[in-house]
């Protein structure tokens, strides 16, 4: 079986050559689209806030220290820069879903390390119109793969209400105001449950915090956040 698999991968490499999503060098089909150097470059930030993962300013966090936060803890795989930024962009905007497997393997290790006894993994939801336009919800894609690798059940717990506007052009304060009431629970039975919620990029934390608030109100006792990358300045 191993020999047949090697032959199959070699054939695919010849017929459909892959390039690394992070740096563009040729890679084998077996690599899932990311070279070893780019994989090694993905490292957890040096100065993460223990609550939101944002960059610390001395002993305080400029993102969450002056706001009510609802996550118990947030983990980011790395900074939204360099190879990781290119890899995430290739998933979101280039429909390169194959590389999501590599990212999910890294994220699953973190999920099992920082959140024991978790009942569900879920994702930041995307309303039907946005999902139809993109073709998929990248956060859901990643969350499902992470759940499969971590051995934790994936479950849709939230939905984004129709007509929700974009956050991209808003200031930090406007993002926190605009996001209020955007999400709602889609199921019951969450009292006392522990949940990991997955998103791709942490910018100001407004989205992941609002999702966490709604999960808390639905009865969750612990909410952890797992994001692929954080924007270094906290503002995109």
Q: What is the chain's length?
A: 236
Q: Do 23 and 112 lie in a common domain?
A: no
Q: Do 116 and 162 lie in a common domain?
A: yes
Write the DSSP symbol of residue 165: P
Q: Do 93 and 153 lie in a common domain?
A: yes
Q: Do 35 and 47 lie in a common domain?
A: no
Assign residue 198 the CATH number of its domain. Answer: 3.40.50.2020
Distant-in-sequence, close-in-space partners of 84: CB < 8 Å, separation ≥ 6: 22, 38, 41, 42, 77, 78, 228, 229
Identify whether 235 is part of a domain: no
Count the Cβ atoms, other than its own, within 10 Å of residue 148: 15
Count the Cβ atoms, other than its own, within 10 Å of residue 47: 11
- Region of 95 (left: φ > 0; alpha: ψ -120 to 50; beta: rest) is left
Q: Do 36 and 143 lie in a common domain?
A: no
pLDDT at 94: 84
Identify whether 179 is part of a domain: yes
Contact 118, 195 (CB under 8 A): yes
The model's pLDDT over 110-164, given as tens digits with 9 standing for 90+, comes to 888 877 889 999 999 988 888 888 888 999 999 999 999 999 999 999 999 876 5
pLDDT at 190: 96
3-state helix/strand/coil string of 40-109: HHCCCCCCECCCCCCECECCECCCCCCCCCCCCEEEEEEECCHHHHHHHHHHHCCCCHHHHHHHHHHHHH
Q: Do 17 and 134 lie in a common domain?
A: no
Residue spans of the chain under pLDDT 70: 1-17, 29-30, 163-178, 233-236
Range of the domain at 4: 1-41
Q: Do 27 and 98 lie in a common domain?
A: no
pTM assigned to the model: 0.85
């Amino acid at each position: 079986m191993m020999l047949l698999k090697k032959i199959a991968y070699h054939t695919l490499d010849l017929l459909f050559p892959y390039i690394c999503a992070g740096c563009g060098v040729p890679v084998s089909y077996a690599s899932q689209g990311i070279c070893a150097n780019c994989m090694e470059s993905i490292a957890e930030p040096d100065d993460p806030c223990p609550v939101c993962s944002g960059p610390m300013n001395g002993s305080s966090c400029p993102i969450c220290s002056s706001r009510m936060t609802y996550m118990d803890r947030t983990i980011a795989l790395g900074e939204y820069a360099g190879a990781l930024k290119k890899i995430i962009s290739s998933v979101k905007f280039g429909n390169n879903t194959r590389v999501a497997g590599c990212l999910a393997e890294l994220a699953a290790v973190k999920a099992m390390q920082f959140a024991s006894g978790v009942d569900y993994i879920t994702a930041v939801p995307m309303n039907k119109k946005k999902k139809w336009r993109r073709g998929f919800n990248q956060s859901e894609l990643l969350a499902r793969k992470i759940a499969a690798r971590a051995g934790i059940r994936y479950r849709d717990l939230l939905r984004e209400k129709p007509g929700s506007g974009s956050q991209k052009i808003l200031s930090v304060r406007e993002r926190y105001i605009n996001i209020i009431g955007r999400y709602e629970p889609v199921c019951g039975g969450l009292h006392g449950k522990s949940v990991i919620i997955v998103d791709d990029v942490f910018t100001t934390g407004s989205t992941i915090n609002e999702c966490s608030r709604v999960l808390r109100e639905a009865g969750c006792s612990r909410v952890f956040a797992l994001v692929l990358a954080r924007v270094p300045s906290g503002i995109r």
